[in-house]
A and B are shown apart, each in its own frame.
Chain A
Amino acid sequence: MATKNKKLSLKDKYQYLTRDMAWEPSYQKKEDIFPYERFEGIKITDWDKWEDPFRLTMDAYWKYQAEKEKKLYAIFDAFAQNNGHQNISDARYVNALKLFLTGVSPLEYGAFQGYAKVGRHFSGAGARVACQMQSIDELRHVQTQIHAMSHYNKHFNGLHDFAHMHDRVWFLSVPKSFFDDARSAGPFEFLTAISFSFEYVLTNLLFVPFMSGAAYNGDMATVTFGFSAQSDEARHMTLGLEVIKFMLEQHEDNVPIVQHWIDKWFWRGYRLLSLVSMMMDYMLPNKVMSWKDAWEVYYEQNGGALFKDLERYGIRPPKYQDEANKGKHHISHQLWSTFYQYSQATNFHTWIPSEAEMNWLSEQYPDTFDKYYRPRFEHWQKQQEQGERFYNNTLPQLCQVCQVPTLFTEPDDPTQLSHRSLVHDGERYHFCSDGCCDIFKHEPEKYIQAWLPVHQIYQGNCEGADVATVVAKYYHINIGQDNFEYLGSPDHRRWQAIKGNKPLGAGDSKDAA
């Protein structure tokens, strides 16, 4: 009797469960079913040329992810039961988590939505399946990040309403608008923005600092999340490279379109990552490496090799790469100065670096820190010691595109802001750089609609006319708990009590807060 081979080979299984799930429509036109596939100008001649980064089928995917999930939650439980938060380097570290939870975790959710949509709108089955899996990964990441950090919410302030804050708080419009920009683009631009420019080119500058930062500062919950996400990130990076090569190989007309998107999204990503630069240089009590070193390794070296490889397709490095390379000496200091002076309106604390930290910064940034930034911090420190801690009580001008305050300096002159301005249809707009100004010029109709937090407050759309009301009522930041200077904050006092340095005063317990 002939025996039938019951078990499919992996290759066959992949073929049956992904590619063969597609069919040729007979009673609807293909372009009506996939209306978004062509308006961006990208020409696809053969979707079958799409190579999947990981030839995964859904059943294998569930099994693999479930295993990881089991281990991850076991460690979260152990961390909570052992009061793992007491073993971190210093409570100042938790402020990096506050930035991550409000600024990054909601982006994972945005990525989930974005990939789900794109997965619907490609006619190629291989691309659809890859996007669908990444979509589920992103949903898993937002959930596991929230769970990893939920333990800290029991012991520290500022973590209580991250999703609400992401939609409203001024500096969180930077990450939010970045993703909204990508998600409101066509499917090919979305993949170039998120899969390639962000996940492939720049993700190491987000993930490595936060995850190594967690490891260096004793945060085992977040480290474990990082390990659990790592294999997904590897898959996402492979997808990022595949999508670029696929577009470039399909038709030569795609090259200039893709090049423009690379220029745009490199700059958008670089501006977004300026938040990470200050986290690395200022917010981690135990430093991993400086932002400058990270930029050199993860962008200048790795990115350099990548763009060398893409040269054969007619792709050159991103247009404003040189400006970004020059900025590595400055942006972390400029960002921290900004958050220091607007700490009354943030859900995390800021502080003046200690003498040892300032010396570290001098060593890491020999050409810039002592000359341009140390005098600023030392002046503020003196003010603080006299009981006049500096807060800037006037709202800042924001860049129309990246929505960061226009705080960056000229690439070749750190004493002048690289402010740019233009008039479009009778309205004046302001930008932080040539990079952002160019992005605006290319699609002005998109960016004239920007929801700029400062302008929204002045229009009266944020529940109040003064900063305190906006912060408390519109942002849900608890004044005196979540915001202001770190020294003397409830978080600081609670940490001292944990370490046995000083008894906890009345009103300092988290429950009372």
Chain B
Amino acid sequence: MSVKALYPYSAEPKDLQANFNGMQLVYVYWRKHLMFCSPFAFLAAPDMPLGDFFEQVLGPAIAAHPDSAGLDFSRVEWQLDDQPFTPDLAASLKDSGIGHKSMLTLTTPGLEGIGGSAT
């Protein structure tokens, strides 16, 4: 469908990657850890290695959660934009197929939030 208007209606997306000064957006959602109210929105360089992204960007963001202490990134079940995903820690975000506004989802069996309450 499209907008009904009196004239030919066209519009440009406001959040094209070109508007982010060489950076891109990456979202990360840690399932069953809803103490973080929604997926995180990160600004990251497309050529950042995935290992660095986990360690330097994602790690500090989730550090406040008690489950983060027991989190082993190598044992996480990953999804990228709802598809199964196997991270290569040496590859960049871009080469891993993590595009602008992509979302990574972590599932961590055994870590189900505070008291198992999905918090």
Q: Which of A124-132, A141-149, A288-296, A392-400 contacts B (4 or more CB under 8 A)?
A: A392-400
Check if B94 is an interface residue, CB within 8 A of chain A. no
Check if B69 is an interface residue, CB within 8 A of chain A. no
> Bound complex: CA of A186 vs CA of B38, how far in Å?
33
Q: Which of A35-43, A233-241, A299-307, A320-328 contacts B (4 or more CB under 8 A)?
A: A35-43
Chain B 16-27, CB-CB to A under 8 Å as 1, else 0, gives 100111010101
Which secondary structure characterizes the binding site on chain B? Answer: loop
Contact of A454 among B11, B13, B19, B41 (CB under 8 A): B41
A393: B residues at CB distance < 8 A: 60-61
B43: A residues at CB distance < 8 A: 458
Q: Are A379 and B103 in contact (CB under 8 A)?
A: no
Contact of B13 among A397, A430, A449 (CB under 8 A): A449
Contact of A458 among B5, B20, B118 (CB under 8 A): B20
| Least distance between A228 CB and chain B CB atoms (Å) | 37
> Bound complex: CA of A39 vs CA of B11, how far in Å?
19
A376: B residues at CB distance < 8 A: 34-35, 114, 117, 119
- The answer to whether A416 and B14 touch (CB under 8 A), given A376-B114, A430-B103, is no
Contact of A379 among B14, B61, B119 (CB under 8 A): B119
Chain A 437-452, CB-CB to B under 8 Å as 1, else 0, gives 0000111111011111
B6: A residues at CB distance < 8 A: 35-36, 39
Check if A256 is an interface residue, CB within 8 A of chain B. no
Q: Are B5 and A39 in contact (CB under 8 A)?
A: yes
Interface centre among B11, B12, B39 (most CB of A within 10 A): B39
- The answer to whether A40 and B4 touch (CB under 8 A), given A415-B32, A415-B118, is yes
Q: Are B23 and A428 in contact (CB under 8 A)?
A: no
Q: Are A397 and B38 in contact (CB under 8 A)?
A: yes
- The answer to whether A427 and B2 touch (CB under 8 A), given A394-B61, A407-B38, is no
Interface residues of A in 404-433 (CB under 8 A from B): 405-407, 409, 414-417, 419, 421, 425, 427-430
| Least distance between B25 CB and chain A CB atoms (Å) | 7
Interface residues of B in 81-119 (CB under 8 A from A): 81-82, 99-103, 113-115, 117-119
| Least distance between A467 CB and chain B CB atoms (Å) | 13
> Bound complex: CA of A339 vs CA of B32, how far in Å?
19
| Least distance between B80 CB and chain A CB atoms (Å) | 11
B103: A residues at CB distance < 8 A: 397, 419, 421, 430
- The answer to whether A452 and B15 touch (CB under 8 A), given A372-B118, A394-B42, is yes
Q: Are B10 and A459 in contact (CB under 8 A)?
A: no
- The answer to whether A442 and B119 touch (CB under 8 A), given A35-B6, A427-B101, is no
> Bound complex: CA of A397 vs CA of B102, how far in Å?
11
Contact of B14 among A409, A425, A449 (CB under 8 A): A449
Instruction: Using CB atoms, name the residue of chain A closest to B63.
Output: A393
Check if B53 is an interface residue, CB within 8 A of chain A. no
Contact of B38 among A380, A396, A442, A451 (CB under 8 A): A396
A417: B residues at CB distance < 8 A: 29, 34, 38-39
Enumerate 29 A-B pairs (CB-CB under 8 Å) in ascending A order.
A39-B6, A337-B35, A338-B38, A372-B117, A375-B113, A375-B119, A379-B119, A394-B41, A394-B61, A395-B40, A397-B38, A397-B39, A407-B38, A415-B32, A416-B32, A417-B34, A427-B13, A428-B101, A430-B27, A441-B1, A443-B1, A443-B2, A444-B2, A448-B14, A449-B13, A451-B14, A454-B41, A458-B43, A459-B21
The chain A residues found within 8 Å of chain B, CB to CB, are 35-36, 39-41, 186, 334, 337-338, 341-342, 371-373, 375-376, 379-380, 390, 392-398, 405-407, 409, 414-417, 419, 421, 425, 427-430, 441-446, 448-452, 454-455, 458-460
